Amino acid sequence: MEAELSHTEYHQGLADIVFGDQDPEAIADLLSAWTSTGTFHKPYTSLYICAKHLTGLHHLYPFSPRLHQLVIYAIELIGYQSFEQVGVEEFVELLDNLQICVEDINGRSL
């Protein structure tokens, strides 16, 4: 049985708190939990909530390798539309700062 979470306001509050604390490890933990997959669940369906927070992480550069990979994966799952709503310039700046290379997408289809 697949679970679907629908408490969006609580998830928004959790994201606000975690990203507001600006602790890179806590942010990585949240992204890890919200992007994990398993037999009975898909990646977190409300991950789009993080779009505005991700574009505001410029002050944490350079990212740890773990956070770097999780941000790239979260962007992939969130999709462009959510970032377009946040702001194209901020999204492009995030992508530029990530300096994504082929090793970052190893094993993923392009």
Averaged pLDDT score across all residues of the chain: 84
- Entry pTM: 0.83
Can you give 63-105 as a three-state secondary structure string? CCHHHHHHHHHHHHHHCHHHHHHHCHHHHHHHHHHHCCCHHHH
Q: Which of 4-8, 36-40, 51-55, 87-91 has the lowest mean pLDDT?
A: 4-8
Reply yes or no: is the peptide bond before residue 65 cis, omega within 30 of 0: no
Question: What per-residue confidence (pLDDT) applies to 60?
Answer: 85
pLDDT in tens, 65-104: 999 999 999 999 998 899 999 899 999 999 998 988 877 7
